[in-house]
């Protein structure tokens, strides 16, 4: 197996990407998949040399361009065919590698994946499905931002795809799928969720009904389905609110003499919670519905995060995630023909 890695993507690239690849290969020793690095050969070689690592499991594919984090996605894809990101995606299309990992520009990665690899048959809208850790484990949020305006049938696809992904990658069988809504009854919500509810009931194997955002952290559902506008708002609010509360509690503790004294004793307890919340452990998000394994890492991914993303990509390849999604969707193609306008 060969995994293509966009070595120039991410705030700490290529240091984080190259060392992530090295650690991944070291962890897997002889059984390791190959990692094909795409990026600036000189820069990559310097980092490899410095690490003292040497293995035929790693290859360097020189690229003359790179896509910045804030470039417009379609323009970047069109204007930079020799960028590390586009070349890594193309390598899967050309049969040279089996999966892509990138911490680069999300929009450019999604656009390139769609243009180059296309979609799984029956899927109209690929979706982002990050894992959100909580005290009780966590859940997958789908879609977390790939599609701002969707139709009810797309929410059904998100539920089916995320179910397959969760069964393979997190080893939870028949995960509980809930529809994010502003009330629990089937008749609550906006036009989108009201129309999606009966479709979810019919087509998603373990659909448990609506869930209000108040309860998503409580472990009541394994997969939370919503449109990408709401999902992106939820995802970013969780990140922002956690940061805000930790900083606020820290300031409050330090503003009081007695609690300030106790603060060193607390660090391990705070750190335990922070460790679970750490996106680096669960840092990669698949583009579900793309006809190929594409794992997107957080822009600020570290070495550990890249290593874990490579692991997830290898697992998805081994377990044939794309075929499994295609098979599941093929059993529900009726919603595409029945619901042309829904």
Question: Of residues 110, 166, 234, 303, which one binds its own copies by CB under 8 A?
Answer: 234
Tell me the three state secondary structure of residue 306.
Answer: helix
Per-residue x/- track, 162-201, its own copies (CB under 8 A): ------------------x-x------xxx-x--------
Task: Look up residue 202 and give its DSSP letter.
Answer: H
Rounded distance between C-alpha atoms, residue 338 and residue 342, angstroms: 9
Question: Of residues 30, 56, 173, 255, which one binds its own copies by CB under 8 A?
Answer: 255
Contact segment (CB under 8 A) with its own copies among 7-15, 207-215, 308-316, 322-330 equals 207-215
Contacts of 41 (CB under 8 A, 6+ apart): 60, 62
**DSSP character string of 110-166:** HHHHHHHH-B-TT-SS-EE--EEEETTEEEEEE-SSS-SS--HHHHHHHHHHHHHHH
Rounded distance between C-alpha atoms, residue 88 and residue 7, angstroms: 9
CB of 113 to its own copies, least distance (A): 19
CB of 111 to its own copies, least distance (A): 15
Q: Which secondary-structure segment (H or E) carries 59? A: strand 58-62
244 binds its own copies (CB under 8 A): yes
Per-residue x/- track, 29-68, its own copies (CB under 8 A): ----------------------------------------
Our CB check for its own copies shows the closer of 1 and 253 to be 253
Residues 259-298 binding its own copies (CB under 8 A) are: 259, 261-262, 265-266, 268-270, 272-273
Rounded distance between C-alpha atoms, residue 185 and residue 181, angstroms: 9
Dig out the tokens for 21 from the structure.
Answer: 């690849």
Mode of pairing for the β-strands spanning 177-180 and 223-225: parallel
249 binds its own copies (CB under 8 A): yes
Contact segment (CB under 8 A) with its own copies among 79-87, 210-218, 293-301, 332-340 equals 210-218
Rounded distance between C-alpha atoms, residue 230 and residue 225, angstroms: 10
333 binds its own copies (CB under 8 A): no
Mode of pairing for the β-strands spanning 58-62 and 34-39: parallel
Question: Of residues 59, 229, 319, 336, which one binds its own copies by CB under 8 A?
Answer: 229
Question: Of residues 54, 82, 137, 237, which one binds its own copies by CB under 8 A?
Answer: 237
Q: In Å, how far from its chain's centre is CA 129?
A: 5
Dig out the tokens for 86 from the structure.
Answer: 């586009």
Backbone angle region of 160, left / alpha / beta, with phi > 0 → left and psi within -120 to 50 → alpha: alpha
Question: Of residues 26, 55, 73, 233, which one binds its own copies by CB under 8 A?
Answer: 233
Question: Of residues 51, 124, 148, 318, which one binds its own copies by CB under 8 A?
Answer: 148
Question: Of residues 216, 221, 314, 321, which one binds its own copies by CB under 8 A?
Answer: 216
Our CB check for its own copies shows the closer of 260 and 331 to be 260
Q: In Å, how far from its chain's centre is CA 8?
A: 18
342 binds its own copies (CB under 8 A): no
Interface ranges with its own copies (CB under 8 A): 134-135, 145, 148-149, 180, 182, 189-191, 193, 212-218, 227-230, 232-234, 236-242, 244-245, 247-249, 251-253, 255-256, 258-259, 261-262, 265-266, 268-270, 272-273
């Amino acid at each position: 197996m060969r995994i293509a890695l966009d070595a120039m993507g991410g705030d700490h690239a290529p240091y984080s990407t190259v060392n992530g690849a090295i650690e991944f290969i070291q962890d897997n020793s002889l059984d390791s998949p190959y990692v094909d690095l795409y990026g600036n050969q000189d820069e990559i070689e310097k980092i490899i040399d410095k690490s003292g690592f040497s293995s035929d499991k790693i290859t360097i594919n020189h690229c003359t361009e790179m896509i910045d984090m804030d470039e417009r996605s379609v323009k970047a894809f069109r204007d930079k065919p020799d960028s590390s990101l586009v070349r890594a995606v193309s390598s899967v299309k050309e049969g040279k590698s089996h999966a892509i990992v990138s911490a680069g520009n999300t929009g450019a990665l999604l656009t390139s994946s769609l243009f180059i690899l296309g979609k799984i048959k029956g899927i109209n809208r690929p979706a982002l499905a990050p894992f959100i850790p909580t005290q009780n484990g966590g859940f997958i949020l789908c879609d977390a931002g790939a599609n701002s305006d969707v139709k009810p049938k797309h929410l059904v696809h998100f539920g089916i795809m995320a179910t397959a992904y969760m069964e393979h990658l997190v080893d939870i069988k028949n995960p509980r799928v809930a529809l994010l809504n502003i009330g629990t009854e089937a008749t609550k919500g906006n036009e989108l969720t009201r129309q999606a509810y009966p479709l979810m009931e019919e087509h998603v194997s373990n659909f448990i009904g609506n869930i209000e955002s108040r309860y998503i952290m409580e472990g009541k559902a394994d997969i939370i389905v919503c449109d990408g506008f709401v999902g992106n708002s939820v995802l970013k609010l969780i990140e922002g609110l956690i940061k805000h509360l930790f900083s606020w509690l820290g300031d409050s503790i330090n503003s009081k003499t007695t609690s300030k004294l106790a603060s060193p004793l607390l660090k391990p307890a705070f750190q335990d919670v922070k460790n679970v919340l750490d996106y680096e452990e669960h840092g990669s998000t698949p583009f579900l519905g793309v006809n190929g394994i594409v794992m997107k890492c957080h822009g600020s991914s570290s070495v550990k995060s890249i290593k874990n993303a490579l692991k997830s990509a290898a697992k998805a390849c081994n377990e044939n995630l794309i075929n499994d999604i295609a098979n599941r969707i093929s059993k529900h193609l009726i919603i595409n023909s029945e619901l042309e306008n829904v």
